[in-house]
Structure 1
Amino acid sequence: MMTVDPEDDAGAETADWYEWQAVMAAADGMALYVKALDANGRITDDTCRIICERHEDWVVLQGQDAELVSAKHKDPAYGAYTTLRKLFDDGGLAHLFRRWLALGAKPTCRLVTTPGLSAGPAQNLEKACEYLRDLRLGGAAVAVSDEHRSVVDDACGTLDRSKLPDDWREGGFSGDFPGTGHRDQMARFMSVLSIDHGQARRQHTDFAAPAMFAQPVVDRLGLHTPAAEIWEAVLRLFRARMRAGGPVPLAALPKVLAYRIGASAPNVEEIERSLVDRIITMQDIDVAIRVAVRNPGGFRPLPRLQRASRVAVKMAAGTCTDNSIERAEQLRADYQEYWSERMAIDAGARVEQARLRRTLLKVSDEATQAVGGIAAASGPVLWAELQRRLEELPRTDFPDDMDAELLLGGVCELSNHCRVWFSERFDVDAALASLRADTGSDA
């Protein structure tokens, strides 16, 4: 279990993505909470609530107004959104459009995502959305101008029409595609769409979220409780609701006489009661905040355990995941054990080790340049590029009884000796001394 490496790390990465979605939903919750407060810090609007994982990742509700929110996290290697196809497929705008149509074209829509928008089609879409939104907010007819017509037409062309209503299929609207009907409907969608791009990635939200999303609430309420504790209390609430982990009034009791003769379809209130396990009200957030205030230290985030080695500190500085760091430490230990055994029985092993060291330094240098240099890439991007290049290395460049995993362990050993970096250079020994002082470790 410990020595055989897994094929992938998808489970941990998926958990990180769900955590990031919970963070972004909690940020919306905090914003909606502040909006619902009066000058004395009391909730005056009890119609505000968030429904998690229904129609989209979450829905923000205030009275009769609703906003569908799709949250898409992309790692640095993805880069920016460059085309409309990427925005509609990878960014989820196509799914947002379908849900918007299914809901009678009434909600507003928002995409929350980490990549930015590159110059060209992606930024042109954002500009068209802003133009059409201004028309709508100004009370004018939402009409497509000549300047934005090609963007609207291209957006129509990205959609899989087989998944859309009949009007969007062959012969729909005017019969042409995109016709006036398609174009007008897409324009109305774009007039209610906002793209909240460039959000903090999952590697950074643990550190940045309390200051970004909780401190304004702390200041608004005049609290003395640390923002990190307020944030943790509210985030726990959203973590549970995003997994339908809220209260279930009837627990596991059977649904007796649920479909009796003469019964009618459930009304809005009954449906909302059935979704109580994934709804967050402003009162829920208020209670979470008050509990955190009354229990100082009770919602303090758990301290992050960090390995006290040079390679671990350097990978952490490059925002590599804890699982990658643990794997790096294990591979480094395996690499050291390999050469210890070789040198005990082979007098020429030291020469071979030196030759391999030069090869690994060359691969590390080429990988760094391929990802645009340390300043342009994060640790996970370089980590993935190193693995790819080591797997493609010719067999003649390393010993017959060594594989790509051990080669990666060799790179980790070089990093531990400050020959390879996963971030900009810094005083590793000073960082280690600070870490050991914080943990009380002499290791």
Structure 2
Amino acid sequence: MRAGQGALMVSAAEPHAEAGGLGESTLAPSGADGLTHLVFGLAPAEDSGSDTLGRYRYQAEVAARDCLTMLTEESIDFIVCEWHEDFVVAFTDGSVELVSVKHREESQGPWSVTELCKTGGLAHLFDRWCACECAPNVRLRLATNAAMKPSKNNAGTLARMCGPEPELTSGLTDMVKTVAHQMLKIRWKQEYLNIPLTPEVKLADIQPPAGFVEKVRRFLAVLEISCAPPQRRYITDVNIQRLLAPAVKSLELVDVDLEATYRAIVNRIEQANRDEEDRSQLAVYIADPTRVRYNTQLQQRISRRQLTRTIIYEEFEYTTVQPPTVPRGQTPVVAPGGIRLRRKLSRGQVLSDEAEFAESLRSAWFTTWSGRRSGLVGDETDLMNLSFDVLDTAFKCRRHARSEVNDGSAFGTEMNELLAERLTVDALSSTPPFPLNDLHLRGLAYQLCDECRFYFSEPFDTDEEAS
């Protein structure tokens, strides 16, 4: 199964390499970046996609399907964009999959065998597979939004005959010959280095060179024709709901902004597609697989186009929804003490209902801190750092409030209003030790006030103040 179907098929196709083909020895020694696949030692025949990237948003969204699958499928190692095909999926078992994306407008109807070979990407995939010396660790996928013509011996039949374990084998020999003839005909008008040029005759009279038909048979054995990608107008919603949302749930992530995250991932894929500083400097492929050497410029080019789990994780966007004031599942507890806070609020002439709310927030902070603290030494450091921020804001609010009233007049009400305005999570100088909201910070402020760390009036002896 492919991205969008819950998992990716990771078993390599059965080896059918020709003499001189590449087996285990096709993998070059691992470099520092872990790129070991022969396919990444080949320079692409052409790379004009970066120049016209604006027209290929759909291609990026199809690549996003594999990137999202990579989050939960350990079998995928990394993805390289816009390389030999639209993107290449590298697997941890050493195999790679060259993926060609073909969007087809609904008005054009389903694909026929002839169209698949000519404009549907099959000839191009075949050419690139041959450039990889038909290595047994290389698989192919044609991903398209359009259906296959269901008529007998047409594209629908071809799709069922593809893969190492085809659904349909009856008539396979005739289908292989049909595809071979179509590719040879296409070669008359389009240059493919690995499709031989034959005399231009009637289609039925084409004489395939020796071994070509058998090579096409092996090509179909490592090919998958996938109609899983949705239509252009649906692909965004489908990818978010069927791939990103389940991945977020599986990874047990919270407060993920699904739409913003998806947009960021697709934008990152597009960036990888067009991140090409010097398209003219391509490494030369050394034909002898036992002497594969990597060109530094080629390595850098691959690195710029590479997408890993870490890179995709970095694109996740999170909502700004703050946690509840009283943690879910916890019983609110009345904080001990409180008499000094009440006396200070009273001296500052803070209204009684606001003073009562202050007591409730102090208890909410007490409940939250009791549940969040680990009991380790670091708790006190976390609390001290957070308290520094709260006290600094409280003192600034007091100075402002005092300057707004006549000398000797109460300023507690004004100071309390300034605290509510300025004491926010966004205004903290550092990230809090655990998720907090603005009311938690005010609750901590009232707790610090109860501990006589600051006043809502000029300082006085709270122990001598009548309740």
TM-score of the superposition, structure 2-length normalised? 0.47
Between Structure 1 and Structure 2, whose CA radius of gyration is higher?
2
Greater share of helix residues, 1 or 2?
1
